[in-house]
Chain A
């Protein structure tokens, strides 16, 4: 039998537990994103970038492009195979289609600072900022004999496919951006040569 008194006690208990619930605020757990007022308005049904989707069989929301196709507005055409012969062929035939101006060098510098500096160093001397167990990355300088002799086609090939320890950067830099970076690297090499000649003349 539920008496009136018991009901009264129960209601007190309910009020107390409601207050206790309010104390446990939604923010206490950093691993939980919290709550939203209207989740169906905040999160609509459209498939989002990077989200898991069951529309295709492989859980990916974006499909990889069909082999041989090219995204609109992005030139990915590069007919040289990733072999030693391809490397030499690219070095012999490829030329920089981007005009060499102060602006392109400046843009190249900006891109170099973002994409290359941490390994190749601010000046291109191979002394970047990444340290592995206290040692710098084993990166060659742009100013040794072999690298000074590199043609722009060689450089383009190396950025596209990677070379030795360096990975391919085709997904990080568009073709035009790669050529701008090459402008800047050659600008660094020219400056280095000029400086060398100056010190040689000075002595």
Chain B
């Protein structure tokens, strides 16, 4: 039992026959050391947890043997969801079915035949487990089902978690503050004037004629010509610099970070889970386009992963909606619609760019141009994608010619032409020719 706890602790959830059990013959020093360590871990675990002993073993067994095809909820994975299975079948039947489902089907058990036919006649493999292990699994399934039933009631009571509010200050807030400050200034000024006038009247002095606002402004301007000239000069310089950059930035979309129809996080997929870029963008190695994965690629994982860590079911259900997929039955419907992602990198049509040329032949890492995508929650354009940016890279990147038979003679010829010590960069093989990219 302690071993099973250890397996949950250390993440060995998959193999029932993993090597933790097969160490009986290790009588050497390392073995004893490991034994001591394990006992220590177990002790630590006992200190840390007071939970019942039977549950985690069921959990580990379930995840190791059953989770590939069954969920503890209602939804179909490969086989049926096992929620409330204890209400549908008694434990004797479940023991028989788990050990040898085909025997039950062949014996003509009504329920067994029905399940077998309903789920596409996929044979459930016989599970080589002991009775108490199977019972532990079903206890775990039962507990999970009851847990799932208790959770929604609790969350609806406590309110849903809201996404973090936009940190940016709204311009309307600033405008409102400025306007109210101005109004306050006017009011206070009036009060001040009124008090001054009252004071003058008390002292018997004549109240001065009010100067019209326009005249007052003119007077102020006349009195402060130098200050105004200085302010205007600063505004002009600042405006020119800003205007210069604004004009120079036309046609450059660096930093563009549009909202996408699904809040897909590259940080989670490529960063935390370390899925290779080319798993989803599989055509980057073969074609001009890196490729937006079709939704069937999403489903390779999201058939099983139905809830995300941040947005829960909300965002993943948009994939299901696009595919008209029912996660409970596992069936695809006829009303499928494409997901309209927003393109981030908009190279002008007058420039030709080919991904495979850079990824497969050049062996350039995706991050060279796209930046630290594995750290981006929302994808943005990292590089400027200007012609100068392309050319800079072509001037400095060396072509790997060693071991490439295609380049053998060419490399020799280039060395003859440019000298033996010259770096064979991309521009040496025509990487700066206009017609390489513009035609």
Name A residues whose Cβ lies closer than 8 Å to a Cβ of B. 19, 22-23, 25-27, 30-37, 41-44, 46, 48-50, 52, 59-60, 83-84, 113-115, 117-118, 125-127, 129-133, 135-141, 144, 146, 162, 164-169, 171-172, 203
Contacts and interface: CB of A to CB of B under 8 A. Distances in A.
Nearest to A22: B243
B13 A135 contact: yes
B251 A34 contact: yes
A35 B258 CA distance: 15
Nearest to A113: B276
B193 interface: no
Interface residues on B, range: 35 or more
Contact of A164 (B69, B236, B282, B296): B69
B337 to A, nearest CB: 9
Interface string B106-137: 00000000000000011101000000000000
A171 B343 CA distance: 22
Contacts of B239: 19, 22-23
Contact of B14 (A115, A127, A203): A127
Contact of B245 (A25, A31, A113): A25
B259 interface: yes
Given A131-B273, A171-B296, A115 B259 contact: no
A85 to B, nearest CB: 10
A133 B275 CA distance: 16
A50 B343 contact: yes
Contact of A27 (B15, B255, B300): B255
Contact of B251 (A35, A114, A132, A136): A35
B242 interface: yes
A27 B273 contact: no
Nearest to A60: B338
Interface in B66-82: 67-69, 77-78
Given A25-B246, A146-B125, A114 B279 contact: yes
B68 A164 contact: yes
Given A37-B250, A130-B301, A135-B13, A30 B256 contact: yes
Contact of B68 (A26, A132, A140, A168): A140
A129 B274 contact: yes
- 3 tightest A-B contacts by CB? A167-B300, A129-B274, A138-B67
A25 B249 contact: yes
Contact of B289 (A49, A84, A133): A49
Contacts of B324: none
A138 B255 CA distance: 39
B200 interface: no
B346 A144 contact: no
B63 interface: yes
B305 interface: yes
B15 A144 contact: yes
A187 to B, nearest CB: 20
